[in-house]
Amino acid sequence: MTNLVTIDSINRDIINCTRCERLVTYTRLVGKNKVKRFSNDEYWARPVTGFGDTQANVLIIGLAPGAHGANRTGRLFTGDHSGQWLMRALYETGFSNIPRSTSTDDGLILNNIFISSCIRCAPPSNKPLNSELANCSKYLIYEQELLKRVKVVITLGHISFLTYCKINDLRKLKFYHLANYRVNDRHLIASYHPSRHNTNTQRLTWEMWVKVFKLTKIILSNNN
């Protein structure tokens, strides 16, 4: 790790990052040209940091801030459909104090969880370029080095899974929902992303989704 040794210094670096010109332009544009339902909101429109418990045993890695979710509210999985699914599941399995995530002042407290993402700026159509993923992966590496107590990593979606494998030089692991790999001293669980597309098409059902967090609980209790 370089001189970025604390979560605050990592976060400062992320918030001020302008490395991917396409994404910086897009996130600002979305913040200016708001959708009607959020026309009264002041959009964050900048890179979004990870959040949660830095002593956590569980690290969740999403794909990217949602254009009108985290890019609006300034917190990952906050203010959009994916956030609703994630927080309800975390609440039902004892990983958070409330079942929703609507704004940075909603009172949400994560229990034993840190949430991050592969890329920190909202990409057009939720599709980051490989070069952008490569640019941003250093922040995930820094966080990973800082989060020393992590025992379970949950990757949401194929890209998150591949990104995690890439930064940890894990080869030949296959992505499928509820894949559970033991790698070094951690478990890696792969899950479909709780995007609107996946949940509306039933590719990811509520039952399949909650199983991810129930499995995490079992792994943690077997580790104690």
Which residues would be at the binding site for ligand SF4 (CB under 6 A)?
14, 17-20, 23-24, 47, 119-121, 132, 135-136
Distance between CA atoms of residues 69 and 178, nearest Å: 26
In 3D, which of 166, 179, 65 has the Cα closest to residue 117? Answer: 65
CB of 216 to ligand SF4, least distance (A): 27
**Cβ distance to ligand SF4 smaller for residue 142 or 209:** 142
User: Which residues contact residue 160 at a Cβ distance below 8 angstroms, ignoring those fewer than 6 apart?
Assistant: 61, 62, 63, 117, 118, 193
Distance between CA atoms of residues 22 and 11, nearest Å: 21
CB of 15 to ligand SF4, least distance (A): 8
Decide if 193 contacts 154 (C-beta within 8 A). no
CB of 86 to ligand SF4, least distance (A): 21
**Cβ distance to ligand SF4 smaller for residue 23 or 86:** 23
**Cβ distance to ligand SF4 smaller for residue 97 or 131:** 131
CB of 214 to ligand SF4, least distance (A): 32
**Cβ distance to ligand SF4 smaller for residue 19 or 197:** 19
**Cβ distance to ligand SF4 smaller for residue 8 or 97:** 8
**End-to-end alpha-carbon separation of the chain, Å?**
29
Render the burial of 18-32: b for 16+ CB within 10 Å, e for the rest: eebeebbebbeebbe
CB of 139 to ligand SF4, least distance (A): 6
